[in-house]
Amino acid sequence: MDFSTSMTVAASGMRAQSDRMKIIAENIANANSTSATATGEPYRRQIATVKSEFDRELNATVVQSGKAVDDMSDFRLQYDPGNPAADKQGYVKMPNVNSLVEIMDMREAQRSYEADLTVMDASKSMLARTVDLLKK
């Protein structure tokens, strides 16, 4: 009986999801971070990546968070001539963060995290059942 494998795999999933949450939080926190100058770039949205990896020790496929990649989509333009970061036409480059997308991503991460937690709970109760056989 080896339930620690399934619990370790579920924990790897939870770690990957919380890393993803961190990146989503960075995006939301920086949704209005403009550059200080007209030539500079504002905050660029990060995209969290995950990759599966075979763990020889566990003999199972665990999941790991990969390097966050930049979202290369266009920046939003906002008309604000008084801003020091405004260009000649008076437009300021705003980060390419769409809060709706971020909220959706967040819900997805939350849901996956809960699923991992459910699996871990199930494994734990199965392990407890096996240990309970000793009481008989």
Partner 1 sequence: MDLPAIPLLSMLKERMSWLNQRQNVLSQNVANIDTPGYTARDLKPVDFEKALKAATSPGAFSNTMTVTNPRHIALSQHAAGAFDDENTPDIESNPSGNSVSLEQEMIKVADTQAQFQAATNLYAKAIDMMKTAIGKTGM
Least distance from partner 1 to the Cβ atom of residue 1, Å: 6
Query: Per rule CB under 8 A, is residue 24 in the interface with partner 1?
Result: no
Q: How far is the CB of 100 from partner 1 (least distance, A)?
A: 19
What is the four-CA torsion angle of 74, 76, 81, 86, rounded to 10 degrees? -40
- Under 8 Å between Cβ of 47 and 108: no
Stretch that binds partner 1, among 59-67, 70-78, 85-93, 96-104 (CB under 8 A): 59-67
CA angle 15, 63, 113 (to 5 degrees): 45
- The whole-angstrom separation of Cα 75 and Cα 91 is 11
Q: Which stretch binds partner 1 (CB under 8 A): 14-22, 25-33, 72-80, 96-104?
A: 14-22
Q: Which is nearer to partner 1, 70 or 108 (CB)?
A: 108
Residue 103's identity, in one-letter code, is: I
Residue 97 engages partner 1 in binding (rule: CB under 8 A): no
Beta bridge partners of 62: 53
Binding site for partner 1 (CB under 8 A): 1-3, 5-7, 9-10, 12-13, 16-17, 20, 50-52, 59-63, 108, 111-112, 115-116, 118-120, 122-123, 125-126, 129-130, 132-133, 136
